[in-house]
Amino acid sequence: MDFRRGGKNNTSWKKGKGSIMDIRGFLGLLEENEELVRIKKGVSPKFELSAVISTIQRTTNKAVLFESVRGYPHKVASNLLGNHRKLSMALGCSPNRILKTLVERWGLTKCVQATAEEERTVFIDDLKLGECLPMIHHYEKDAGPYITGGIILAKDPETSEGNLSYHRLQMTGKDELRLRITPGHHLGVYFEKAEKMGESLPVAILIGSSPAVMLAASANLPLDWDELAFAASLQGEPIGLVGCKTLDLSVPVDTEIVIEGEILAGIRKPEGPYGDWLGNYVPVTDNHVFKAHAVTMKKSPIYYTILSGSPEDILLLGLPTATSVFRGIYKVVPTVRDVACWPFLFHCIVKLHKTAEGQAKQAAMAAFGANMEWIKFCIVVDEDVNIYDSSDVFWAIATRCCPERDVIVIPGIPSFRRDPHKIHWGRVAIDATAPLGLENEFERKRIPGEEELRIEDYT
């Protein structure tokens, strides 16, 4: 499959104006920019596929496309948003303007009903998910195959506002999936309303979505916002929608695979263990049950999977947190330049143009206030530090932080809900900015011309 010829709108990446691309167009863009690895050798969906993804992420960290997965006709993609360069390509901006671009597009654009639907393969009768979709086993002690790149699209049963959200989905039967819904999150609110009415909640699971839909699904938006409309705002154009076959729901017309069904009211079944983003296994718990009614897919569909806890997973989890933190700090210290929740979700790195002593500590406190769930360590650095490079951040700590003056430990603050042993209680703020008035002493050495040098010109 040559994405550069066959992708939809695959050349429409316009820097600073968003991106109007489906997943095929984005794969084509990644390939043109040497950010895609094609795996031509056939791989097993049980552990081998995940092992290849993990190895690539630990080395080149490029996107990966498996052209042959044993037992299935599908191509499988992963790590499409595994670093900030690929993310900036999806948004059509430079890597140092990702958060500012998201904030600038923090509006809503209407979606449109598609006038025509692409021809799709439809499975309804005698549905067998294990034959329709690759059954990917990711980690050794996972309870079985999981769908990890699926986005659940649902509507509030009272207001009809739409929501997009990621959920792990354990494949447990020919037409059954099991999933965890976090109480209080938007899908949890929707399901609780439906269950109180004695009704199941109709949902569609989107696999292989556009970059804009993927990013919108990870966003932390107000309850009365529609994530599909936000996705349209991110790409700068309305999203075409098409009706489902068995549900009163409309889905993005360019989605590779759609599973239609409902989350069953009054039913919970054991789900797990599962290799979680924290790096260990979530134990078996009684969770929600999804019953599939139909599967529709494009011709030669591309299946999308996310390796839990990988750079891609952490970036998708951390981006909405970083955005809310940036907005929170800006209210207190308007000279904030950038924020990254990287290389792990509990870390928050703040880039600041410091104009007065104490501002770095103010920024750290504002960061904690903006997100009381995830941020455990906040490190504030100067503008000359690359916050997407861990070694550069640790260099700033090592050379600009006075431990007895610039490290603040705040005890006794609870963190996220799934923390029964209080391992993640407390906060640590680190001021790794240089003292004002000593700029000459803290000026970083540089080699003129190094930034523009291309090593290919010398080989």
pTM score over 0.85: yes
How many angstroms separate the CA atoms of 171 and 31, rounded? 32
The strand pair at 274-275 and 257-271 is best described as unpaired
**What would the two tokens of residue 246 be?**
């068995």
CA distance 329 to 147: 36
CATH class given for the domain over 311-432: alpha beta
Question: Could you tell me which of 13, 81, 24, 82 has the C-alpha nearest to residue 236?
Answer: 13
One-letter amino acid at 113 equals Q
pLDDT tens, residue by residue, 247-279: 999 999 999 999 999 999 999 999 999 998 888
- CATH fold for domain 3-304: Pnp Oxidase; Chain A (2.30.110)
Q: Is 358 left (phi over 0), alpha (psi -120 to 50) or beta?
A: left
Q: How far apart are CA 130 and CA 353, in angstroms?
A: 53
Bridge partner residues of 275 (DSSP): 281
pLDDT of residue 116: 61
**Model pLDDT for residues 17-29, shown as the tens digit of each residue:** 344 589 999 999 9
Task: Assign 3-class secondary structure to the chain.
Answer: CCHHHHCCCCCCCCCCCCCCCCHHHHHHHHHHCCCEEEECCCECCECHHHHHHHHHHHCCCCEEEECCECCECCEEEECCCCCHHHHHHHHCCCHHHHHHHHHHCCCCCCCEECCCCCCCEEECCCCCHHHHCCCCECCCCCCCCEECCCEEEEECCCCCCEEEEECCEEECCCCEEEECCCCCCHHHHHHHHHHHCCCCEEEEEEECCCHHHHHHHHCCCCCCCCHHHHHHHHHCCCCEEEECCCCCCEEECCCCEEEEEEEEEEEEEEECCEECCCCCEECCEEEEEEEEEEEEECCCCEEECCCCCCHHHHHHHHHHHHHHHHHHHHHHCCCEEEEECCCCCCEEEEEECCCCCCHHHHHHHHHHHHCCCCCCEEEEEECCCCCCCHHHHHHHHHHHCCHHHHEEEECCCCCCCCCCCCCCCCEEEEEECCCCCCCCCCCCCCCCCCCCCCHHHHC
Distances (CA, A) of 454 to 60, 87, 459: 18, 23, 10
Name residue 33's beta-bridge partners.
none
Tokens 């011309």 found at: 449
Among residues 126, 254, 276, 384, which one is catalytic?
276
pLDDT for the residue 9:
32
What is the model's pLDDT at position 6? 32
* Nearest partner of 158 among 138, 186, 139, judged by Cα: 186
Report pLDDT digits (tens) over 194-231: 999 999 999 999 999 999 999 999 988 888 888 898 89
Q: Which residues of the chain have pLDDT under 70?
A: 1-20, 114-118
Contact yes or no for 21/33 (Cβ under 8 A): no
State which H helix or E strand residue 112 sits in. strand 112-113
Question: Which tokens sit at 430?
Answer: 């680190």
Report whether 79 contacts 64 (CB < 8 A): yes
Pairing type for strands 347-352 and 377-382 reads: parallel
What residue ranges do the domains of the chain occupy?
3-304, 311-432
Tokens of 31: 């390939």
Question: Residue 270: phi, psi to the nearest 5?
Answer: -60, 135
Q: Is 276 assigned a catalytic role? A: yes
